């Protein structure tokens, strides 16, 4: 006897009843994905303009990444780092060649990569720079987003992220994003690093002034502090370059990657670093049971390969520039600003419209999925495989919703 199909509403009710209410998702229940498209439980198709917060840059269910996952899963999934596996060194070799890195430390989530970088630069500060024990400072930015762990939310300026979760760890001075002078003024003899997103994603795709990355690179070098770029959202092609730092021709001391590193198939993140910083870590001082596991490494190798071989990064630059230009032409009385880099685009609405949620819900009903952030902003970040025709359809749909008010 065939199993009775559970309705979308029944599934939503189960999730609401049994799950913690720490998300407010749109009421669409997805069951399948391919490329830029996803389908709900009732067979309706949607253009995914969120790409799992840039974790699915390569498109949903990319066949070459899936093949690597299936092949490795049938052989060996996990050893822990108590033993060696054949995939980890090959992952190291390929990601270092791709990113011009000297050392790699693999973890599982973006937040773990951030925590790892904080630990590493603090230890470097004590052992190499000579900062007094327990006095190291890592400067961060207002409105930044780096994850949800206790240490990270402790230096968040978003009340929703930190309220009710204290007490928090000290050692994280906060400066304005996009202001290199503010960074320099905050540096003390105890400063070991500056942690920053090249573009603030969760804050609403906030792009710093031109020249900012070059200036902070110069400031960090002059004061002998490590520049840590969180490229977990901006990296791996999202902005039309492999990394957003390339738009200003700089190199960070540590670069944090995650999300699209597996093409959405399996959690993996990494700290990409110079030897000086990661060289301070000794056996037993940091680790993860799943970090660097053979399944994750095999998947990441395939995910990086298709980004390059299939021209996804170049396509992101080309389609993103067109998307942004044409979206700017759709301005109506509701729109305050349109901004972006590559396929990382924000449409900020005027406060008078009463928030962006109803617009994301209206777009969903017409077959386009995106998500509001910080109440008044809609983000558009489709997989990097999107075509010109698909961008045009998205533009027509967005225009229709804006004009409907």
Of 191, 256, 245, the closest CA to residue 215 belongs to 245
Q: Of 263, 284, 309, which residue sits at a domain end?
A: 309
Q: Are 201 and 260 in contact (CB under 8 A)?
A: no
207 and 340 within one domain: no
33 and 134 within one domain: no
Least confident interval from 216-225, 347-356, 386-395:
347-356
- Residue 387 belongs to a domain: yes
- Per-residue pLDDT for 1 more than 70? no
Average model confidence (pLDDT) across the chain:
96
- Per-residue pLDDT for 358 more than 80? yes
48, 103, 123, 145: the catalytic one is 145
CA 347/CA 327 separation, integer angstroms: 8
- Residue 316 belongs to a domain: yes
Q: Are 307 and 69 in contact (CB under 8 A)?
A: no
pLDDT in tens, 247-257: 999 999 999 99
Q: Of 288, 309, 330, which residue sits at a domain end?
A: 309
Task: Compute φ and ψ for 242, nearest 5 degrees.
Answer: -55, -45
3-state secondary structure of 197: coil
Q: Of 292, 309, 326, which residue sits at a domain end?
A: 309
Structure tokens at 34: 């391919």
- Residue 46 belongs to a domain: yes
pLDDT value at position 2? 56
CA 55/CA 266 separation, integer angstroms: 10
382 and 245 within one domain: no
Work out how many domains the chain is built from and give that number.
2
**Residues 6+ positions from 303 with CB-CB distance below 8 Å:** 58, 62, 65, 260, 261, 262, 263, 265
CA 287/CA 385 separation, integer angstroms: 35
Task: Compute φ and ψ for 363, nearest 5 degrees.
Answer: -65, -40
85 and 192 within one domain: yes
204 and 190 within one domain: yes
174 and 100 within one domain: yes
pLDDT value at position 374? 85
251 and 179 within one domain: yes
CA 44/CA 57 separation, integer angstroms: 22
The answer to whether 145 is a known catalytic residue is: yes
- H or E, element range at 106: strand 103-107
Please report the DSSP string for 157-188 in residue order: --HHHHTTS----S---EE-TT-HHHHHHH--
Residue 4 pLDDT level (bands cut at 50, 70, 90): confident
- Per-residue pLDDT for 303 more than 80? yes
Report the CATH number that the domain containing residue 302 is assigned in CATH: 3.40.640.10
pLDDT in tens, 81-129: 999 999 999 999 999 999 999 999 999 999 999 999 999 999 999 999 9
Q: Are 319 and 394 in contact (CB under 8 A)?
A: no
139 and 34 within one domain: no
In the block, residue with structure tokens 């000290």: 170
CA 29/CA 351 separation, integer angstroms: 30
pLDDT value at position 291? 97
Q: Which domain holds residue 348?
A: 8-61+311-404
241 and 116 within one domain: yes
- Residue 1 belongs to a domain: no
Q: Which residues in 80-103 are b (16+ Cβ under 10 Å) and which e?
A: ebeeebebbeebbeebeeebebeb
259, 323, 371, 376: the catalytic one is 259
145 and 101 within one domain: yes
The answer to whether 134 is a known catalytic residue is: no
48, 194, 230, 290: the catalytic one is 230
115 and 165 within one domain: yes
78 and 121 within one domain: yes
- Residue 3 belongs to a domain: no
pLDDT value at position 5? 86
- Residue 2 belongs to a domain: no
- Residue 103 belongs to a domain: yes
- Per-residue pLDDT for 245 more than 90? yes
pLDDT value at position 352? 82
Report the CATH number that the domain containing residue 370 is assigned in CATH: 3.90.1150.10
pLDDT value at position 45? 98
pLDDT in tens, 117-153: 999 999 999 999 999 999 999 999 999 999 999 999 9
Whether pTM exceeds 0.85:
yes
- Residue 107 belongs to a domain: yes
């Amino acid at each position: 006897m065939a199993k009775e199909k559970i309705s979308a509403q029944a599934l939503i009710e189960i999730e609401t009843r049994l799950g913690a209410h720490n998300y407010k998702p749109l009421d669409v229940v997805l069951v399948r994905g391919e490329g830029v498209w996803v389908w709900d439980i009732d067979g309706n198709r949607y253009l995914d303009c969120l790409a799992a917060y840039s974790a699915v840059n390569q498109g949903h269910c990319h066949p070459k990444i899936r093949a690597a996952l299936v092949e490795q899963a049938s052989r060996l999934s996990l050893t822990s780092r108590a033993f060696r596996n054949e995939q980890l060194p090959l992952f190291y070799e390929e990601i270092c060649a791709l990113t011009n890195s000297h050392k790699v430390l693999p973890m599982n989530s973006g937040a773990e990569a951030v925590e790892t970088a904080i630990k590493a630069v603090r230890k470097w500060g004590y052992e190499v720079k000579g900062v007094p024990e327990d006095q190291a400072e890592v400067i961060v930015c207002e409105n930044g987003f780096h994850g949800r762990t206790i240490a990270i939310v402790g230096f968040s300026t978003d009340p929703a992220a930190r309220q009710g979760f204290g007490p928090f760890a000290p050692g994280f001075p906060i400066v304005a994003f996009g202001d290199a002078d503010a960074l320099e003024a905050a540096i003390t003899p105890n400063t070991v690093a500056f942690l920053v997103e090249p573009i603030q994603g969760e804050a609403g795709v906030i792009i710093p002034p031109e020249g900012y990355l070059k200036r902070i690179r110069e400031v960090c070098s002059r004061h002998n502090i490590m520049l840590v770029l969180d490229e977990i959202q901006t990296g791996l092609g999202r902005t039309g370059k492999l990394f957003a730092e390339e738009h200003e021709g700089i190199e960070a001391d540590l670069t944090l990657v995650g999300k699209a590193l597996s093409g959405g198939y399996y959690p993996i993140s990494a700290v990409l670093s110079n030897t000086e910083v990661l060289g301070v870590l000794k056996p037993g001082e940091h680790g993860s049971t799943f970090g660097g596991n053979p399944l994750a490494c095999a998947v990441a190798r395939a995910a990086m390969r298709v980004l390059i071989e299939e021209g996804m990064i170049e396509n992101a630059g080309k389609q993103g520039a067109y998307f942004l230009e044409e979206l700017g032409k759709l301005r109506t009385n509701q729109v305050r600003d349109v901004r972006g880099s590559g396929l990382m685009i924000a449409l900020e609405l005027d406060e008078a419209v009463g928030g962006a949620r109803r617009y994301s819900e209206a777009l969903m009903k017409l077959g386009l999925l995106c998500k509001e952030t910080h109440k008044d902003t809609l983000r558009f970040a489709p997989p990097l495989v999107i075509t010109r025709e698909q961008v045009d359809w998205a533009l027509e749909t967005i225009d229709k919703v804006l004009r409907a008010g």
